[in-house]
Structure formats: C-alpha cells, structure tokens
Structure 1
Amino acid sequence: MNKDVGYNFLKSAITLSNPYMSLDDFMKWLEEKKASTHHNIQEIPFAELENWEFERETGNLVHSSGKFFSIEGIQIKTNWGNVKEWTQPIINQPEIGFLGIITKKIDGVLYFLMQAKIEPGNINTVQISPTLQATKSNYTQVHKGNPPLYLEYFIEKREDVNILLDQLQSEQGARFLRKRNRNIIIEVTSDIQVNEDFCWLTLGQIKELLKLDNVINMDTRTVISGISYGDLSTLKQFALTNSSTVEYDFLISELDTKNAMNTVEDIISWITRLKAFAELEVDKIPLKDLNEWTKDEFSIHHLQQKYFSVIGVRAEIGNREVASWTQPLVKSAQEGIIAFIIKKINGVYHFLVQAKMESGNFDIIELAPSVQCLTGNYRKGLNEYEVEFIDYVLEPEKNKAKVLYSSFQSEEGGRFFEEQNKNMIIEVGDDFSVDLPEKYNWMTLNQIKTFIKFNNYLNIQSRSLLSVVRFIN
C-alpha cells in the first residue's frame, strides 16, 4: 500500500473540524432532507406488486425483466453446527453492484462525498450512503429511470481519478446467495459539482456519526471498513501524544505488525483447516417446496414466526432515479446482536473472531464477530444452539467486561425492512482465557485489515462493526 494513501486516510480519520459542514450543521441538513424529500413506504399484499410475480412451476418470486433479484428456495446440508439440514427462502441477486465513495483532498485533508439517501426499508428514513450505491440493474437502467449521479467517475477511465481502495466484498450470507459488491474508494483531482443531496465529510466525522443509531447506512460502513492506515511509521507523522485512551490503543492495533499473538500464516492455516473439513451443500429448490415455511396474502414466513419473512412494499421517494415502485423486502423477526470481544495481548488489542458458516457464503466459511445473533436467536429457548460468549454481551458487568461501544445499526434498506442490530465492542480482562474453542481465534486490527483486502474472508457483519472503530477521543 502506498504510504501516502495510508497517511491521507489517517489524517482524515482524526479530523473532526470541517469548514464546509460541521457536525451540528450536518444534523440540521439531515433533518432538512428528511422533511423536504417526499417519501411514503407502505406494506402491500403480494397481489399489488407491479412487475413482480410468483412463477407457476416453482413459486419463486421474480421480476418481469429477469433482472434485479428473485426470492428463491434452497436446501442446505452441512456437518457444521447442530442443525445438519434445513430449507429457507433466499435472495438470489447474481449481479455485482457498486458501492463507491468519491474523495477529494481540500486544504490537505481528504474529504468524502456522502449522499443523503432514502431506501424503502430504512428504519429512520434518510441515512448517509456512499456517493454511488447501485446494483448493475440500476446503473444499466433496467428500471428505465435516470442513471445514478457520479456513475461516470467509477466506470470510465479518467485522468482525474485515482483508485485508493478496490475490493469485492460479500453480502449477508444467511439472506443472499453468494452475493458480492464492488467496494471502491476513488480520489478525484479535478473540480466536482456537489449535488444538493450530497455533502463533504471527513472520515473522522463519519466515524463520529457512527456513535449515533442508524445514521450511517450499512453500505457506507462496509466500504470504510476496508481502509488501511499503514504501519507504525505512519503514526510518526502525526503529533498524537495522548497515549492513554482506548482510541489510541485501537490505532496501535491498527498499525502494529510485530506483537500479534498469531502470525498471518497461522490464521490462514486455521481457516484452511476448518474449510477442509467443513461440508456445505446448497441446492436450489422451488420456493413452494420449502419445509416449515408458508405463504399467505401478505408474506412468506416460517410456521413458528422465526428468523425472517418476505413482504411486499410500495415506495414513493422523491429524489430517486425512479420516483415510485413496488418490490419485495426481507423483514426480520426480531432485532439481533453483533459484538466483538477484545482483549489486550502482548500490549495490543486483539479481536475475537469466529469462523462462521452461512448458507449463502461464497467460500463456505467467513470470519464473523465474536457474537453474531440475528433475529433474536440469542434468547434462551428460541435458538437451536448455544451461543458462545453471549453472557459477556448480555451481562458485561457481571462478567467483569467493559462496554466500549454500543449502538443500533441497521441493515441495508434496499433489501431489508426496518432491520437493526445492536452493535457492541466489549473489552475483557486478564481472567478471560486466550485459549479458545476450535472455531475462534485472536486477530489484531492490522491482521484483520490484511484479510479484508482479499475476497470472502470477513463477513459483512464484522466489516460493519469494524467501521465504528475510532482513533480520536
């Protein structure tokens, strides 16, 4: 990685002052966007979906164009975990979409061009999304609407564009079938016109806003999670003297390359060994043939009302490429918990990661947070398995643990209806053993960022949670 790139990212990450839009000004601007943009989202029966239909032979829910996405059925067989076989609905969207952020250096600081965007499933109407957030069907205009703003900066070869980050990253493995998006950050060196629904923010401001519930959307979180800041030589270029804060310790974990408990080679061998013995057989089956799932006028749902359902909505949003449309959305049964447990080992914060298999994973296993319980299945008696380390999340004080971060963050509103999960980072002390069950391991932030650079290692829940890590108090 170019050291200048890491330096510029870190400088932006520790900068809160913004002469173009302070955080107070931003919150006023965001409220104005909520008030001024016409939006109306309604749940509707499937019969009122336009250009969507259930196929006669399979019962799959598909779009008339054959594009966008479909709701299909899959059957899973595995030797991983307590449940060896099940069926479920899943989103099949084989396209690779764009999640792109434009940056520009202004007065020596890298600014991020962020968009105030309403998605039909957003929990609080407007959230801050990347500059470009578009499926292939969107940017090729299958919907016959306008092309997304700033698309040309990402698909054309331009002399005024430098690529700072470019990765293929996975979507939710339990909801999407092998879905990936291109996460990309570019720097524009020429003048650029800022549309009224966009604003310039520093990376430090974005991370500050992540302390709030449901302001920064999941697509922004996954893109910025991939940012690397170099090594300890980067730190020498900054006059950061307060070394007694958690934020400074996070930065050391991000930059340190010598004090990790495990080598990168050790971690690769651990993942490879688990993948070699793991079995995951996923077969497409007709949606109408799912076991323990049923369809009525308004939803496709589990017979015990567990996990999630599929519903239909009508969306009217004034500033979108298409002002009105209908579509299916996935609706979670309950909110969940996503948490990283961290511990100082060799004087450096290590993150407890778990190897997690999900039905839609591209390569069997991805690295997930220490605790990942979606749809409330961490509650006693409601899950098919015991959740490791859940007591440290539900009762941290009782377990001598300290909550360093806690907020509600929502899933992506273009596919999920008002779904949010509690995101937490919890520090444990010396009494928490460094010895772990087989499917868990310790990694520094620097090591995690090494794995994020490559496809299909870190799942979207871990990337989303890692985005909240801040380096200034």
Structure 2
Amino acid sequence: MVIKNVNLAFLKSALDKTEVNSALEWINNQNKAVNVSVKKVDFEKLEKWKFDQKKGCIGHDTGSFFSIDGIRVNTTLGKVGQWDQPIINQPEVGFLGFLVKEINGVLHFLVQAKIEPGNVNFVQLSPTLQATRSNFQQAHNGKQPKYLEYFKNATEETVLIDQLQSEQGARFLKKRNRNIIISANDNIEVYENFTWLTLGQLKSLMQVDNIVNMDTRTVLSGILYGNYNKKAINFSSVFTPQETYKSMLLKSALSSEGCFNSLNRIFSFITDLKSNNDLLVKKIPLNVLKDWIVTKDEIYHKDNDYFKIIGVEVEISNREVLNWYQPMVEPAQEGLCAFVCKNINGLLHFAVQAKLECGNHDIFEFAPTVQTLTGSYKKTPKDSLPFLEYVLSAKKEQIVYDTIQSEEGGRFFKEQNRNILIIADDDLPQELPENFIWMTLNQINNLTQYNNYINIQARNLIASIPFV
C-alpha cells in the first residue's frame, strides 16, 4: 500500500477520537489468557549465563544477546568527575517496528499485546515487531518473531519512517535500535495477540498508567506531522475551535514559523557543548567497581542508591521461548521525567536540557526539562536541580499530563517513572539555566529524524502528547 501524503496521514490518525474502552478490555483479556512467572534467582543458577571472573562480566554462553559489564567514567562536566557502575552492553541493533495500513480512511497501527519479564502489569502494547538481532536470528533456538519478513523485505515505497534511536544512556552502553514504520498490504493476517489501533487511540491509552510500552512510545515519537506556516495552521481550529492546551500543543507541533531559536542555533548549541566537554568510558571488571558490592544474587551500590543487577527465571506461555534465565536491572526508586513549556510569542516552547550520560554515543543528547532516573528526586535538594522545585510545586491546572510509565521490561525489572508535562505561568522567566534551550514541539520532532539528538526519555514524553 502506497501512502501519498505520509505526514498528513499520521496527523489524521493522531486526531482520531475513537474510544479506547474496547482496547482496554482486549488488553485485560490478553492478560488473563497468558501464564506468567518471574522469580529472582542467584547468579550461579542463571542457565546459559555465567559470571566470567576472567573478563569480569556476566555474559551468555553464545556470546549473543547482551552482557553486564563494569565501567569507569571520567568527565569534565558536573560536580562528580569520576564514578564506577555496572552497565548493559548490547551492541547489536534490534528492530522496533510497526506495520500500518488505512482502515476506513484512517491510518491504523498493528500493535502487539506483549509480556516482558520486567513489566509491572505483564501485558503492555508493543510494536508489531520488537526483537533484538539475537532474537530474530534465533540465537535462543526459539521461534522466529511474527511479521519479521515484512521488515526484512521492506522496500523504499513502503518505508515511512526508518531511524536509529538511542536507548537509556545511563543504563546501556551506546545502545541503539532501528525504529521503523512500514505500510502493509490489505490482506495481512492478524494473529491472536495483535490488533489495529489509530495513533489517536494509542495517545489516549498513553494517558493511562503502564499500558503502552516504552518501545511503542519511542517509535511513535519519530513521527512528523508536517511543517506549516501561520496561515495554514488556521485549519486546526476546525478540530479545536477554542484554544485549549491540546490546541496549543498541536500548533507547536505543526508550526514552522515563530520559533524562539532556529534549528541552526540549536545544532550549534549542542555542538558547542560536545566540543568543550569530555567523556571517557573504560571497561573494568564488575568485581573491582568502586562503591559497588557483588553478592551471589545482587550487584548493588553501597548506599542502596541508583539500581542493582539481579538474576531472574522467566516463564511466559506465549513467547518464542517459553522458559529462560537472564540478568536484569532493578531500580532503587521511581524516577521523574518532566517537560516545562512556556508560551513565547504565541507559540508553546519546551525547556529542553542538553544532558550528558555515560552510555551516550556522542556525549550529549537533548533530554526533558527534569530527568531524575539514577537518583531519588524525593531526596534531591530542590535548589540543586534546575526546575525540580517548579515541577513538584506546580499547580493542578498547569499539569496537562501526569502518568506513571514503564521502562523497557526486557532489561529493567519493574521500573516505572512519573512522566509530567507542565504549561508554565507567565511569571516563569524566559532566561534559562546553563545547558538549557527553548524548542517548539515541531523542532523536537524534526530533531528525532537525526540519530542521537533526542534521548529516549524526551521521546517517550513527546509521543504521549495528545492533540484531541
């Protein structure tokens, strides 16, 4: 199926107001139909995994999938110039992909009810295809993922989005996945745990805690809705006659005029930071990590902060492999990701920070206004982190999005973070702290078209923004 105006097709799907109760009922029924068991076990009981004392890492017998390595980080930025930590090393690029097709004139996405061992509520909505290279090359000796052939055989005419996007820079070492959306033919078979939903339905479901998984959100964040001038944007009043926060967000997503900073200025801003700061990451054995304690069943920080490495035994009845073992990252606390927005010259702008994380490919990526994943924001002195106090003390009427969303359940054990979008009062200063810059939603969306500019926490938030 060839889609002539891709951006407009995505926009029409995002503005779809179809109800989601039937989707929630379908998810609930999928949960009831699958048997799931996830148990913590000692590292020595992880079948096909071993704690390699010589290399100082936890790896799979095949050398595939991923490993848990130790690293020592040195940087010129911030108050802490050096630290040690465990990190997930998964150099292979996996597929995160959607099949889409028009149904009754509206673009629909083929979503999967997928269970990951780390999901807090088992079933969450995932992309059509969510698979590491080891998975689709069947290194686990299991079945091949459904619909893989559509993505392997995609043509230029059917590919609507194709990007390499980063994963969590504080937990993964330079990890990226291929985020791809392709158009499908009309006679595609829909398997039992798959269904079609519009982009509007998916955005509505993102307003509910822990329903749409991280991989779905990151793929959808790469969608462009088009660039329009001020006259053309007047058509949006057809959908939202009165100005609401949703119409303001839609205008910010569509406008190519009135931006406080040009894209050239934004590129120069982050290039300057990359040029004037250093990040050196060196692999070291897990058992020599400073301030980390290795036991038979955990690797944890001496202060019980940040996260720990654990081992699990997994049984899931509808996966390509029904039973397996693996190490996972378990967080020490709930995190907070928040964007603060301000109306500047009649256009909603987002306060975006350039954030250094040890696993980043290129030192800095653009992140939400507030991002606290590796430490407890509830214990953080409010005056030590820009905008933290503003976010935590925001008035109810300023908060337009506030949900708990899961991180990727294949590697993270029951990790969920509070995601917030705040529209600031007029009294919020236009001047920003160091390493922060104003962007429209349209500019953020355009930056997702480039590799390693918008981090996954920011992408997850912008994917969740509703327009209707």
- Secondary structure of the residue aligned to 2:44 is helix
Deviation sequence 1:344-401 (CA, Å, 0-9, x none): 0010110010000000000000000000001443233589x9211101111113xx97
- Secondary structure of the residue aligned to 2:113 is strand
Which one of 160, 164, 172 corresponds to residue 160 of structure 2?
A: 164
Q: Per-residue deviation at 1:236?
A: 3.7
Q: Following the alignment from structure 2 to structure 1, what is the Cα–Cα distance between the partners of residues 259 and 233? A: 18
Q: Following the alignment from structure 2 to structure 1, what is the Cα–Cα distance between the partners of residues 242 and 162? A: 32
Name the residue aligned to 1:326. Answer: 325
Q: Following the alignment from structure 2 to structure 1, what is the Cα–Cα distance between the partners of residues 463 and 139? A: 32
Deviation sequence 1:255-312 (CA, Å, 0-9, x none): 1111110111111111111111111011111111100101112111111111000001
Deviation sequence 1:95-154 (CA, Å, 0-9, x none): 000000000111211000000000000011100000000000000000000000000000
Name the residue aligned to 1:102. Answer: 99
Deviation sequence 1:29-54 (CA, Å, 0-9, x none): 11111111111111111121000001
Name the residue aligned to 2:466. Answer: 470
AA partner of residue 7 (structure 1): L
AA partner of residue 331 (structure 1): E
Q: Following the alignment from structure 1 to structure 2, what is the Cα–Cα distance between the partners of residues 132 and 3? A: 24
**Inter-CA distance 327–151: structure 2 relative to 1 (3 Å threshold):** same
AA partner of residue 394 (structure 1): L
AA partner of residue 395 (structure 1): S
Q: Per-residue deviation at 1:243?
A: 3.6
Q: Is residue 352–residue 369 contact of structure 2 (8 Å, CA) maintained in 1?
A: yes
Name the residue aligned to 2:254. Answer: 255
Name the residue aligned to 1:80. Answer: 77
- Secondary structure of the residue aligned to 1:272 is helix
Name the residue aligned to 1:16. Answer: 17
Name the residue aligned to 2:204. Answer: 208
Correspondence 1:18-167 to 2 at 5 A: 22-157=19-154, 162-167=158-163
- Secondary structure of the residue aligned to 2:158 is strand
Name the residue aligned to 1:413. Answer: 409
Q: Following the alignment from structure 1 to structure 2, what is the Cα–Cα distance between the partners of residues 119 and 30? A: 14
Q: Following the alignment from structure 2 to structure 1, what is the Cα–Cα distance between the partners of residues 42 and 174? A: 28
State, as a whole percentage, how many aligned pairs show the same letter.
50
Q: Following the alignment from structure 1 to structure 2, what is the Cα–Cα distance between the partners of residues 349 and 382? A: 29
Q: Following the alignment from structure 2 to structure 1, what is the Cα–Cα distance between the partners of residues 12 and 338? A: 27
- Secondary structure of the residue aligned to 1:195 is coil
Q: Following the alignment from structure 2 to structure 1, what is the Cα–Cα distance between the partners of residues 318 and 454? A: 33
The answer on 1:339 being equivalent to 2:335 is no
Q: Following the alignment from structure 2 to structure 1, what is the Cα–Cα distance between the partners of residues 140 and 351? A: 43
AA partner of residue 43 (structure 2): F
AA partner of residue 423 (structure 2): E
- Secondary structure of the residue aligned to 1:205 is helix
The answer on 1:395 being equivalent to 2:393 is yes
AA partner of residue 392 (structure 2): L
Q: Per-residue deviation at 1:241?
A: 4.4
Q: Is residue 279–residue 363 contact of structure 2 (8 Å, CA) maintained in 1?
A: yes
Deviation sequence 1:217-275 (CA, Å, 0-9, x none): 00000000111101234774883242411111111000111111011111111111111
**Inter-CA distance 124–354: structure 2 relative to 1 (3 Å threshold):** same
AA partner of residue 339 (structure 1): A
Q: Following the alignment from structure 1 to structure 2, what is the Cα–Cα distance between the partners of residues 443 and 164? A: 25
Name the residue aligned to 2:435. Answer: 439
Unmatched runs of 5 consecutive residues or more in structure 1: none
- Secondary structure of the residue aligned to 2:170 is coil
Deviation sequence 1:433-462 (CA, Å, 0-9, x none): 111122001000111111110000000000
Name the residue aligned to 2:192. Answer: 196
- Secondary structure of the residue aligned to 2:238 is coil
- Secondary structure of the residue aligned to 2:7 is helix
Q: Per-residue deviation at 1:201?
A: 0.3
Deviation sequence 1:388-444 (CA, Å, 0-9, x none): 1101111113xx971111000010000000000000001112211111122001000
- Secondary structure of the residue aligned to 1:81 is coil
Q: Is residue 130–residue 219 contact of structure 1 (8 Å, CA) maintained in 2?
A: yes
Q: Following the alignment from structure 2 to structure 1, what is the Cα–Cα distance between the partners of residues 351 and 11? A: 24
Correspondence 1:192-341 to 2 at 5 A: 192-232=188-228, 233=232, 236=235, 239-341=238-340
- Secondary structure of the residue aligned to 2:264 is helix
- Secondary structure of the residue aligned to 2:72 is strand
Q: Following the alignment from structure 1 to structure 2, what is the Cα–Cα distance between the partners of residues 176 and 430? A: 38
Q: Per-residue deviation at 1:188?
A: 1.0
Q: Which runs of 4+ in 1 moved over 4 A?
A: none
Q: Following the alignment from structure 1 to structure 2, what is the Cα–Cα distance between the partners of residues 145 and 16? A: 39
The answer on 1:186 being equivalent to 2:187 is no
- Secondary structure of the residue aligned to 2:29 is helix
Q: Following the alignment from structure 2 to structure 1, what is the Cα–Cα distance between the partners of residues 234 and 278? A: 43
Unmatched runs of 5 consecutive residues or more in structure 2: none
Q: Is residue 105–residue 189 contact of structure 1 (8 Å, CA) maintained in 2?
A: no
Name the residue aligned to 2:455. Answer: 459
Q: Is residue 386–residue 433 contact of structure 2 (8 Å, CA) maintained in 1?
A: no
Q: Per-residue deviation at 1:16?
A: 2.5
AA partner of residue 86 (structure 1): W
Q: Following the alignment from structure 1 to structure 2, what is the Cα–Cα distance between the partners of residues 382 and 51? A: 44
- Give TM-score scaled by structure 2 length: 0.96
Q: Following the alignment from structure 2 to structure 1, what is the Cα–Cα distance between the partners of residues 115 and 155? A: 29
Q: Per-residue deviation at 1:190?
A: 3.4
**Inter-CA distance 36–235: structure 2 relative to 1 (3 Å threshold):** farther
**Inter-CA distance 237–301: structure 2 relative to 1 (3 Å threshold):** closer
Q: CA RMSD in A?
A: 1.7
Q: Is residue 172–residue 359 contact of structure 2 (8 Å, CA) maintained in 1?
A: yes
- Give TM-score scaled by structure 1 length: 0.95
Q: Following the alignment from structure 2 to structure 1, what is the Cα–Cα distance between the partners of residues 233 and 142? A: 45
AA partner of residue 356 (structure 1): K
